[in-house]
A and B are shown apart, each in its own frame.
Chain A
């Protein structure tokens, strides 16, 4: 049984790795805490003197094990942050130069996709609009201008480990670079009304030549 659906981007694989790093940190903490939980329960019937049991923990020295535990968790936390921050920077805070640009617009309850026309530029007169079908070339940086018309939607590409809310009145540009061809889902991850559960598009990741042909067909229509 897989934990994750297949990953179709470099970033996605790094995010999966990050999940396991966090799980490892948490796992170590769990083992230690579980021991602290179970040991006193197992040994509850042993005889103890009142002096032994009257532990108040009213000085720093007596609380040293708690501080050690907190410091260990702090180190674990910092390790997680150290591992995750570079990924965040490359996903959300940098915008590599695009090979191709599209706009994806959420609307109750479908995805409108705007392709640039033959001139290769978005938001000109020859733009082409499609519904729920997104064709992108493999191994190319694709910029997506994400918008919504009516209510808040959220572009969720599970296999690409990509998610971005689509807001009315705002254009948010994010990028993806996918390394595997195939047909994948575009889900809406933010509740958007009665049809929320039928709001699904398909993303076709195609190698460059097939993609060029598809685009040519789209232009012909």
Chain B
């Protein structure tokens, strides 16, 4: 059949509308951007531990460049690594084959969304070539600093000098990235609602499909205010409107509300697909049904709705009404409860399971553990508005959000990657290299951020190029030592990613051939060939049951595919 023909490179990467190819393009692009994000963090962490001079592979680092690297590290890792990997790659690759259909509802839109995404990467990187350098005001872009380095006292007056600045390019890049994710997101939701295989009711959808869709809807609900805000900010930069200029009737806090109204749900947009993939993996490798499937979905919807009304916990000390802060503190702390329900469901899935320690399972358990014990629980410290007075804008916050986002994007992302790699490439990853990669990443990730918790409690504040001005408070031998431990751990963490890269490129060419269903899992993607042909299924499956019938008492095997009667 013509549709099953193998296409050449040019056709596959430039014209193919196949969701699997687009997913792969997103993956490679995100890895390319992750290389930048990783390199930036290496440079500025090296500076914090060993000084700004003669950084290997970089040279000398100036304070202005330090700010630029910190800003772009944050933005890249969230918008150009986390979002493409967790929404676009997981959504593109998994939704059609998990719901049993041939492709997305709108394949061309899907392709456009990728090209817009690629454009946004180039626009962001082009910011580094501007005369005044890349944007360096923090990835949260608080005005007036994001209008120009001197706030509204901007010496540049013409439209074009303001246009060719890092600030403008940063905003435009974020806007393009959002356009791309919105096009992708609407595609995912429509596909899930309209193209399900026969018998695939909503309550038979795999959890990860639910999660990607909830995440996309949450993204769509929350992004509107930020787009409005970004437009105002762009006008402030380019034509001097002064929406956020206090001396002309504007208000800098307005931006913070608009930004965090999006910014907090954004964390859940990243978290949900990842936690969904982790749920699939834990169920498969425990050989047990996902405990409380409907409750998990309900809890996640509750958490998603709550996440829309907690944004001001980023602003407890920013000058909002202290009375309002109490409400936000209450809501923030309450949000721990649906997540507790979800985590306990996953632990209920592990309970009495025949746990198989394959590589994806290790990543999934590592994700769940670090996310819960450090990321989630320190959220209670910061959700309490009193303690936040002290901890806000210190390294305690940095350690907290890296403990939520790193497990989400990287530990969860790698879990999904190792789990679905056989399906998308047709070959198995090398298990030994996978284990080395896991333990290297897991150990050094923890040894980066545990010292940072302590430094934060010591009063080390954020985005500081050089702590020498705080000689008594932050330059004692133990502080220097803690910063060095974190930096050395980071360098090891980055080095261990080369193990992954090698494993990836080696296995994709020379790995052991994978069978249709190497993990003995139930969901539909494991019923088709590895890799799935163009069109995915032949014939199309009819779904008979929910996806988690592991060790069903009436079945002989310990798993039972969704399409089996």
Contact = CB atoms under 8 A, between A and B. Distances in A.
Interface of A: 1-5, 12, 15, 18-19, 22-23, 25-26, 29-30, 33-34, 36-37, 39-41, 43-45, 48, 50-58, 63, 65-66, 69-70, 73-74, 77, 80-81, 84-85, 87-88, 91-93, 108, 150-152, 154, 156, 158-159, 161-165, 167-170, 172, 185, 187-198, 200
Contacts of A19: 381, 387, 457
5 contacts: A57-B292, A84-B387, A88-B329, A185-B470, A194-B149
Interface in B344-384: 344-345, 347-348, 350-355, 365, 368-369, 372-373, 377-378, 380-381, 384
Contact of A154 (B145, B317, B347, B365): B317
Nearest to A193: B149
B389 interface: yes
Contacts, number: 270
B107 interface: no
A20 B520 CA distance: 46
A191 B462 contact: yes
B364 to A, nearest CB: 12
Interface of B: 63-64, 67, 136-138, 142, 144-145, 149-153, 245-247, 251-253, 286-289, 291-295, 317-319, 322-323, 325-326, 329-330, 333-334, 336-337, 340-341, 343-345, 347-348, 350-355, 365, 368-369, 372-373, 377-378, 380-381, 384-387, 389-390, 392-394, 454, 457-459, 461-467, 469-470, 472-473, 478, 548, 550-553, 558
A93 B323 contact: yes
Contacts of A15: 386-387, 389-390
Given A53-B551, A196-B465, A151 B144 contact: yes
Contacts of A88: 322, 325-326, 329, 385-386
A57 B295 contact: yes
Contact of B341 (A5, A41, A66): A66
Contact of B291 (A55, A167, A200): A55
Contacts of A69: 340-341, 344
A194 B326 CA distance: 34
Contacts of A25: 380
Contacts of A161: 389-390
A187 B336 CA distance: 32
Given A77-B336, A197-B465, A29 B151 contact: no
A43 to B, nearest CB: 8
A3 B293 CA distance: 41
A197 B337 contact: no
Contact of B390 (A48, A55, A163): A163
Contact of A187 (B64, B144, B291, B461): B461
B214 to A, nearest CB: 20
Given A53-B550, A66-B292, 15 more contacts: A4-B457, A5-B473, A18-B387, A26-B381, A37-B350, A40-B355, A53-B354, A57-B293, A58-B292, A81-B330, A152-B252, A159-B473, A169-B252, A187-B459, A197-B63
A87 B336 CA distance: 22
Contacts of B368: 37
Contacts of B287: 53
A44 B288 CA distance: 12
Contact of B289 (A56, A150, A162): A56
Given A85-B326, A163-B392, A48 B354 contact: yes
